[in-house]
Structure 1
């Protein structure tokens, strides 16, 4: 019985420890990240209690005509001429201390012109999972793994 209790307590301790080794603070999200496509870098910054991300690098910054890529699919016609580089695509994320993740944000996809509900989970020093969904609960959507970019390269 003592051996069973020891094993059980050890397993519980490991589970608790592993759930707390990632995202020890809200600021862990701050930095330069590359989505899985590998075609852009997004710089995530903190402003007050919220986190925002903007496109700071594009692998292909020009369109087919040689012009700077713009937000041509935006549903707001007045924004279609704004450059994708420099665009704020992550907005209003708030760190949930209990869940150790960033919630209640939005992610904008310039390729489709759509904005989605979004949450971000920290998966370690160099990896996050960004979930975009059609519903606030996050059931209908997809998750993309982003990696930290330590040094900006071209």
Structure 2
């Protein structure tokens, strides 16, 4: 869960390496726009993708474990559908239920931290 607005399903990417983590949007606080339609990826820089529903969109890619540093990942990327931009990503597990992600442009020291909280999938609107 990020800022109580979106939840990601994070899992191995499924590539040949097998160690990288990827993530898709799994829940949205407001899954529908003002007209009642599913929210779309309207800020995507690719016009061909702007009509796709946000539910299920891959936003986290290629987050690799840091050798000899358990609970740390680096070299990933994050797509923010709010602005349509891609960012660099690193992460540190603080506990079994808390992950602190460093989202940045260019260099990690230019970024901001985002705290991600583990949540159980529940019933109700917003789940993809």
1:148 is aligned to: 118
Which of 27, 35, 50 aligns to 1:65? It is 35
Instruction: Please show how residues 32-51 of structure 1 align to structure 2 within 5 Å.
Output: 34-35=1-2, 37-46=3-12, 47=14, 48-51=18-21
- The gaps in structure 1 that reach 5 residues or longer are 1-33
1:125 aligns with 2:103: no
> What residue ranges of structure 2 are gaps of 5+ in the alignment?
none
> Please, which of 44, 53, 62 is the counterpart of residue 92 of structure 1?
62
User: 1:72 aligns to what SS in structure 2?
Assistant: coil
Q: What do you get for the CA RMSD once the two structures are aligned? A: 1.2
Instruction: Give 1:103 deviation, angstroms.
Output: 0.8
Give the distance between the partners of 1:55 and 1:112, measured in 2 at CA.
Answer: 15
Matches within 5 A, 1:76-87: 76-87=46-57
The 1-side partners of 2:58 and 2:117 are apart by 18
Alpha-carbon separation, structure 1, partners of 2:51 and 2:82:
14
Cross-structure match for 2:78: 107
| TM-score in terms of structure 2 length | 0.87
Aligned residues: 119
Distance 2:93 2:51 in 1: 34
Distance 1:55 1:38 in 2: 13
Q: Secondary structure at the match of 2:109?
A: coil
Shift of residue 151, structure 1, vs aligned partner:
4.0
